[in-house]
Structure formats: C-alpha cells, structure tokens
Chain A
Amino acid sequence: MKGYDLLDLALRNLGQSKLRNGLTTIGISVGVASLVAMLSLGVGLQQMATRRLAGSGLFDTVFVTSRQDFRGFDREDDAKTPHPEQSPVLDEAARVKITRLRYVTEVEPEVRVMGEVVAGGETHFGFVTGLPMSARQNEAFDNLKGKFFSSNDADETILLMDFAKELDPKNPAGLIGQDITLRYGERQALPQEFGRPQLAGSQTNNSSDSGRDDFAFSVVRKMQKLRVVGLIDSEPYGGMRTVSRGRIFLAVGTTERLNMAQFSDMRSSLRGGGGKSYTTLTVRVKDPGKVGEVQEAINKMDFRTFSVLDATKSLRRFFTVLDLFLGIFGSLALAVATLAIINTLVMAVLERRREIGVMKAIGASDQDVKRLFFTEAGAMGLLGGVTGVLLGFAIGKGINLGTEIYMHHHQMPAEAVWAMPPWLVGAAIAFSIIVSLLAGLYPASRAARLDPVQTLKYE
C-alpha cells in the first residue's frame, strides 16, 4: 500500500473513535508536556546557574600569585620547585608580560587597604578595595544605585550600602553626588640617606636593586576627597575574592595613583629590592573556555595560578544528573500514556477484527495491516507530541510567570528558571513518535496475525 493511502486510512480509522483516540492522544500530550516541562526546567536552571556564575566574575578569571609568597602552603608543589625563592616576583614586568598573553583582556592587581572615612565629625573604619573597570559587568552592580566610575583613575568612590547606612543612617542614598574624605596610608620612599636609591612609588622595577639590604619606605597618613558616585547592596565576586571584603570601592587606577600602602609592601620590604610587587594579579580571560589555556601559559612563567574551572566541571556533572532524574520523572507520565496507546490499539484490533479480516480477504497483506496500525500509533504520537510540546511550553511560561511574581513579591529581580531550547522541541516530538510506535508493536503484530477465516466466520 502506498504511503498516502496508508496515512489516509490510518487517519480515517482514528477518526472513527474520536473520543477514545482523542483521550489517548491527550494522554500522550500530558506525558510529553510533563517530560518537556521537566527537561526545560533542568535546562533553565542550568542556564540560570551558568548566568549567575558568569555574572559572579569568577569563571573567566585566573588568579596569579608568586610562588615565593605562598611558599610552604602546597608541599607537593614546593617539592617540584625546590627553590621557590628563586621563582619570579609578581611585579610590573610580569604584569605586562601576562597582559600580552593571548585571550587576556585585563590584568589588575587586587588592592585592599585599610582606610577611614570622616563624615559628620565621626570616623568610620572600612577596607578600601580597588575594582577594575570590568567589574561593571559583575552581578553585584546589577542593582547599582547611581553610576559606575567614570574612569580608571577618577576621584570617585562606590560604597557598600551597609557602609553608607553607617555614614548616613537616615538617607544613605543621599550620599550619591556628595564628597567624602578618605584617610589612608601612603607608601613613601625614604630619602636616599636612609638607603633608598630612588622613589618607591616608581612603577618600574629596577632589578639591580634586588638583594639590597638597605631598602626602606615609610607610611604617611594622607587625606583624599572622593565623590560618592554609587551604592551597591552586595559585595562583588560573591565574597570569594579578597577585594570583596571591602566596603569602600575605588577604581584600581585611583588606588595605584594614590600609592596606597598595602599589606604586601611589608612582604616586599622583607624580600628586598625597591620595586613594587603584587600579592595577587587578577587576569580576566576573553572566554571562560580559554581559562585553562591562559592558566597554562602563566604557569609556564613559573607563577602559581588558581581558577574555578574545576568547579564548572563538577557543576556540569551535577546538571547532567539533574537532567537525567528530571527526565525520568517526566517520562513516567509518558510511560502511562504508552499503556494507554497499547490499550487503545488493542481495543481497536478487537473492534475491527471483521474489518481486518475483510481487508485481508480482498488483498491486504500481513505487512499492510501491521503498517496500518503502526501509522495509527505514529499519528497519535505525532499529534500528542506536538500538542504536548505546546502544553509543556504553556506550563513553562506559567512557571516563569509564577517565579517572576514570587521574586517580585520578595523584591528580587525576575529570573527565568525555565527555558525550552529548539532541540528539545524536536527531540520531544521524535521521542513521542518513537514511544508510540513501540507501543503499537504488540497491537500491530496481533492485528497482522489475525486469521481472516476466523474473523469472517464469527460475524
């Protein structure tokens, strides 16, 4: 029998028992919808997690430290490098070298110093941290009140809301646009008679100074007027980086220009040499997928690196397992629908015994009969699959709307927890058809095996 005749007969047969076949098809739809809704939820949650993690600014970042500074922390690593003290210093030259690496978009030091803000005659203590301009993309700035730094060395500051409340409990938002005075320690080189051959604030490191024992600097209290340009509610980088402990944020360039004395300066002074060095450099990579490559290149320069690349791997593993379980739960409804298909088609075989016998008597082969029932099962699967995907889509939209209302109710930004990728639409319909065809196997072979003599005799 030709394909279009097969389809025509199958649809005609399905139309004969509209209610029963309709209910069976609805059963398939509900099954597919539940599968689609579950898997879409898995995909949505995964996308949300990826979005959040990307927003945290951790997944495209490599943290670089000198082996010298962390000597003894990782004994296994130290064993590989017998003389960490001979490892290079994380200085300006290293920073420039790292900046030139492929895929690197930004290399900034982590600046964290103690400071005091004088406001209303009172002194308020807080950590001052330097933020790179790329921090604007960090999720902490999603709800930024006011604006971000206008440039990398502007005399501007962004305050943590809690700190702003400390400064002005009644109207913290009113601080935006106001000037505050920051008191901090400036690192100043001692004159040459104290053993210092040149100004310590110089950005260039003179390697010939290394090993000199007469290096010295002083910390001088300084005041700087800063314009408050913005307020943020939460710490950038999810509190995972040292800079996030700050309450007063300045552009990194500003902190460098002000030559703020850092804790690492003490370490530098012990090491000797007058050049400025960094405890940690934060390297931003163009694409999270290239983090490994950049990390390897920096490792070759004999620096210690750290990234949360491994964390993403375990995250993917978690979501694969989650998808699997969501898929299994979603499939349960489809499994029930499969039984409904088998039941419907077995009933159809019983009801249409005579018809099958007649068809065989006038020339239908066993294969024709089998294919007819398969086509009926497949048509129910296709229809159920398509309506199921639409139903699943509606459920998903409902979930997103519900989440949005809930988040809004809790003063949180809306978040899409459900997402239906195009591949899922195709896969769900194909899966529905395949499951329906499998369900049609038994009824179809039962119909094909019917003895025409027996079926015609009993009528």
Chain B
Amino acid sequence: MTSSPVAETAPAVRTQELTRHYPMGEGLIRAVDGVSLTVEPGEFVALLGQSGSGKSTLLNLIAGLDRPTSGSVVVHGSDLAQMSSEELARYRRNQAGMVFQAFHLISSMTIMENVELPMRFAEVDRAERAQRSRESLARVGLGNRLQHKPSQLSGGEQQRVSLARALANRPSILLADEPTGNLDTRTGEDILNLIRDLSLSLGMTVVMVTHERALAERFAQRFIFLGDGRLIGEEVRT
C-alpha cells in the first residue's frame, strides 16, 4: 500500500458505481446502489441520510470491512475490491482508523492496552507502542487515565479512547460511524471539535456518517446525502 507519485495527486477516496446488495428471501436489498463519489486528501466529509439509507454500509466498504457487489473503492490509488483479505487487514491496520457509535472498546483491557491493540497487530515494538499510546491518549486529553478500564470512563471519554485507538497507527483516513450517536450534545461537540483539530493538525481525511445535520454543518466541509442506497445530493459548506 505504498503511495506512488500518481497516488499523491489522486483523491483520498474514489468510488465508482459502487453497489452492495444483500439477498433477502427471494428479493434483494440494495444497501448501496451505484454510488460514485470522491473525497480529496485532508477533506472532512459528512455522509448524511435517514436510517437505512446505506451510509454505514458505504462507510464499511470504504473501511475495507465489507466487499462491494460491484464497482470499485479506490483509496489512495489502491482498489479495495481487488484486495485479498490479508491485504484488506493490512489496509485497515495502517491506512484507515475507525471510530464507532458504540465505542467498541475491549472492556477487559485498560485504555492504554486498548490503544496499543492495533499496534500489536502492526507488530510495533513494545517500547514504541507504549510511547505512542501515551501520546495518543494525551492528544485526546486522557493522558492521566492510562490504567483505567473503559467501564470507569464516561461515554465521551470512551469515545476519546476510541479516537486515540483509531489514530494509533497514524492512518491517513479516519472513518467515523455516528461518533456522537451515544453522547449528549455538549460531549458530541467536544468529540467533533477534537476530530476536526486532529484532521487539521495531522492532515487526515475524515469521512463521518451522521444523521445530525446541524452538528455536521458546524464541522464538515462537505455533505453527501444518501437515500435508499443512492447518492441524492451534495453540498459544500459555505
């Protein structure tokens, strides 16, 4: 997944006629149905839509967690649809960081260990791993809670840990699935502020799924609207 000179100038994400269909009984659910979009490097894009509009499925396709039925997802010049499962794992490990609505921290581990986990898969040395975890947690304001378990933290704090974990392997793209969905408005704003600051300071591309348009309008640079798996509109924040 090394970036070629051509890839440097290429969009961070480009999907072309991307579809993801699920068989359901005798019918077919068209979760994503011919979506073509482009996200530029360093851009903060919000995917908006009603529940069931296909925005999370689209995000999973960009994250390499799911495979398209047809079409292509090209991230920094590499087509995820053509990758083996090992290559996809390597992509998720090194290039894409994910944040979930339910945080998905491992409850038996301390927050430090949670942040270290992706680095274990990336075979980062123990000493470097500890240093990077501390830095990551300090960046999200939890530098003094390293040995706490997730259950000892508030929802907002847990989402910060989740963010620190997503950034652990220094990805070029951050994918956030309803990151404020389980948080109150104030905490949600704090998290999005943090994501925006990190995006700006690290030059990281952000693709965020949300159904809270008002919140998205305050942070994202561009809004892509989905309905019934199709791209139904696009707006740029003025």
A residues near B, CB below 8 A? Answer: 1-2, 5, 9, 12, 16, 354-355, 357-368, 452-453, 456, 459
Which residues, 74 to 131 on B, are CB-close (under 8 Å) to A?
Answer: 85-86, 89-90, 92-94, 98, 100, 102, 104-106, 108-109, 117-118, 120-123
Find out whether the CB atom of B65 lies under 8 angstroms from the CB atom of A363: no
Q: Which of B63, B108, B121, B166 has the most CB of A within 10 A?
A: B121
Q: Return B81 CB to nearest CB of chain A, in Å.
A: 15
Task: Please indicate the chain B residues that have their CB under 8 angstroms from the CB of A355 in the complex.
Answer: 106
Bound Cα distance A360, B85 (Å): 11
Supplied contacts A5-B123, A365-B86, A366-B85, 14 more A-B pairs, CB within 8 Å: A2-B123, A9-B120, A359-B121, A361-B63, A362-B165, A363-B122, A364-B89, A365-B89, A365-B121, A366-B86, A368-B89, A453-B65, A459-B102, A459-B104
Q: Which of A12, A357, A365, A367 has the most CB of B within 10 A?
A: A365
Find out whether the CB atom of A456 lies under 8 angstroms from the CB atom of B100: yes
Tell me whether B169 is interfacial, beta carbon within 8 Å.
yes
Task: Please indicate the chain A residues that have their CB under 8 angstroms from the CB of B85 in the complex.
Answer: 365-366
Task: Please indicate the chain B residues that have their CB under 8 angstroms from the CB of A12 in the complex.
Answer: 108-109
Find out whether the CB atom of B89 lies under 8 angstroms from the CB atom of A358: no
Bound Cα distance A1, B118 (Å): 10
Name the residue of chain A whose CB is nearest to the CB of B94: A363
Find out whether the CB atom of A361 lies under 8 angstroms from the CB atom of B108: no
Tell me whether B66 is interfacial, beta carbon within 8 Å.
yes
B residues near A, CB below 8 A? Answer: 60, 63, 65-66, 85-86, 89-90, 92-94, 98, 100, 102, 104-106, 108-109, 117-118, 120-123, 165-166, 169
Q: How many A-B residue pairs have CB under 8 A?
A: 68
Within 8 Å by CB of A1, from B60, B65, B92, B120, lies B120
Task: Please indicate the chain A residues that have their CB under 8 angstroms from the CB of B108 in the complex.
Answer: 12, 16
Bound Cα distance A347, B65 (Å): 24
Main secondary structure of the interface of A (DSSP, over half): helix
Task: Please indicate the chain B residues that have their CB under 8 angstroms from the CB of A1 in the complex.
Answer: 120-121, 123
Q: Which of A2, A362, A456 has the most CB of B within 10 A?
A: A362
Known contacts A366-B86, A453-B60; is-contact A361 B98 (Cβ 8 Å): yes
Find out whether the CB atom of A363 lies under 8 angstroms from the CB atom of B92: yes
> What 5 A-B pairs are tightest by C-beta distance, nearest first?
A363-B93, A365-B89, A363-B121, A362-B118, A5-B120
Name the residue of chain A whose CB is nearest to the CB of B125: A2
Q: Which of B85, B104, B105 has the most CB of A within 10 A?
A: B104
Find out whether the CB atom of B104 lies under 8 angstroms from the CB atom of A361: yes
Task: Please indicate the chain B residues that have their CB under 8 angstroms from the CB of A359 in the complex.
Answer: 117, 121
Task: Please indicate the chain B residues that have their CB under 8 angstroms from the CB of A364 in the complex.
Answer: 89, 93, 121
Q: Return B173 CB to nearest CB of chain A, in Å.
A: 14
Find out whether the CB atom of B117 lies under 8 angstroms from the CB atom of A362: yes
Name the residue of chain A whose CB is nearest to the CB of B120: A5
Task: Please indicate the chain B residues that have their CB under 8 angstroms from the CB of A358 in the complex.
Answer: 104-106
Bound Cα distance A456, B66 (Å): 12
Task: Please indicate the chain A residues that have their CB under 8 angstroms from the CB of B118 in the complex.
Answer: 362-363
Find out whether the CB atom of A354 lies under 8 angstroms from the CB atom of B104: yes
Q: Return B54 CB to nearest CB of chain A, in Å.
A: 13
Task: Please indicate the chain A residues that have their CB under 8 angstroms from the CB of B120 in the complex.
Answer: 1-2, 5, 9
**A and B contact pairs by CB, cutoff 8 A, 8 listed:** A5-B120, A355-B106, A358-B105, A361-B65, A362-B165, A365-B90, A453-B60, A456-B102
Task: Please indicate the chain B residues that have their CB under 8 angstroms from the CB of A360 in the complex.
Answer: 65, 89, 92
Task: Please indicate the chain A residues that have their CB under 8 angstroms from the CB of B123 in the complex.
Answer: 1-2, 5
